[in-house]
Amino acid sequence: MQNLKAIRWIILLIIPLVAGCPWSTESGKLPPPVTEKFLERTSPENLLHNFGLAWERKNFEEYILLFSEDYTFFFSDVDVEEHPDIPPSWGLEQDKEATRGLFEDTNVEDVELDWVVGPREESEFAQADVKILVTNIYLTVNIRDPEDGVLTTNIIQGAADFHFRKTEETTAEGDTLWHIVVWKDLTTVGP
- Domain assignment present for 37: no
- Across the strands, what pairs with 74? 89, 184
- Residue-number span of the structural domain to which 155 is assigned: 2-22+73-163+182-189
The confidence band for 34, taking pLDDT boundaries of 50, 70 and 90, is: low
Contact 164, 46 (CB under 8 A): no
Residue 6: the pLDDT is 45
Displacement of CA 48 from its chain's centroid (Å) = 9
Q: What is the DSSP string of 176-187?
A: EEEEEEEEEE-G
170 in a structural domain: no
Asked if the structure places residue 169 within a domain, the reply is: no
Residue 173, in any domain of the structure? no
Judged on CB neighbours under 10 Å (0-12, 13-18, 19+), 131 is buried
Contact status, residue 13 vs residue 86, Cβ threshold 8 Å: yes
Q: Are strands 108-122 and 89-91 parallel, antiparallel or unpaired?
A: unpaired
Poorest-confidence range of 9-18, 53-62, 95-104, 129-138? 9-18
What pLDDT was estimated at residue 79?
85
Length of the chain: 191
| Residue 48: inside a domain | no
Q: Does 12 reside within a domain?
A: yes
Partners of 131 in beta bridges: 121, 163
The answer to whether residue 66 is domain-embedded is no
Q: pLDDT (tens digit, 9 = 90+) per residue, 65-74?
A: 999 999 999 9
Q: pLDDT tens-digit profile of 120-140?
A: 999 999 999 999 999 998 888
User: How many domains, the chain?
Assistant: 1
Let me know if residue 92 belongs to a domain. yes
